[in-house]
Amino acid sequence: MKTVLVNVVTPDGPVYDADVEMVSVKAQSGELGILPGHIPMVAPLRIGAVRLNKGSSTELVAVSGGFIEVRPDKVTILAQAAEVSQSIDVTRAEAAKTRAEKRLSQQTDDVDFKRAELALRRAMNRLNVTQNKY
């Protein structure tokens, strides 16, 4: 089976680096599936899970936006934040979800609803990845 090299990189450094058979991401334009030999492209990403298929196993990486750059032999994901499912701190993610929900429920002028909503989506994404929900 042919493979493609996948690098997931954040401002803090590399998060994932391996050869996989297929990459699935949530781009702004919709779901993308990338196989080895894919035509070159660049696309903005939404908050979501990156699915990396290797044989019969699937690895998940939670990303909070960024870009995907596709070349026939290499896929690079530049994310603002990214975590492989095994390294996600579930307790911390649940606390972030609770904080965001609390902020969204407050009906005051000093709450930045867009920021709270994004925080909630990031926390939910991290929790979904740990539970293999994608």
Specify whether the backbone of 103 is left (phi greater than 0), alpha (psi in -120 to 50) or beta. alpha
- At 78 the pLDDT is 96
Q: Which CATH class is domain 4-85?
A: mainly beta
Query: Does this chain's domain 4-85 share its CATH topology with 89-130?
Result: no
Q: Which CATH class is domain 89-130?
A: mainly alpha
Query: Is this prediction's pTM over 0.95?
Result: no
Spatial distance between the Cα atoms of 124 and 134, rounded to a whole number of angstroms: 11
What are the domain boundaries of the chain? 4-85, 89-130
- At 26 the pLDDT is 93
Question: Per-residue pLDDT tens for 46-73?
Answer: 999 999 999 889 999 999 989 999 999 9
Instruction: Kindly list the distances between the CA atom of residue 133 and the CA atoms of 18, 50, 58, 105, 121, in Å, as whole numbers in the listed order.
Output: 22, 12, 12, 25, 14
Spatial distance between the Cα atoms of 25 and 96, rounded to a whole number of angstroms: 24
- At 107 the pLDDT is 66
Q: In the chain, which stretches have pLDDT less than 50?
A: none
- At 111 the pLDDT is 61
Q: What is the mean pLDDT of the chain?
A: 88
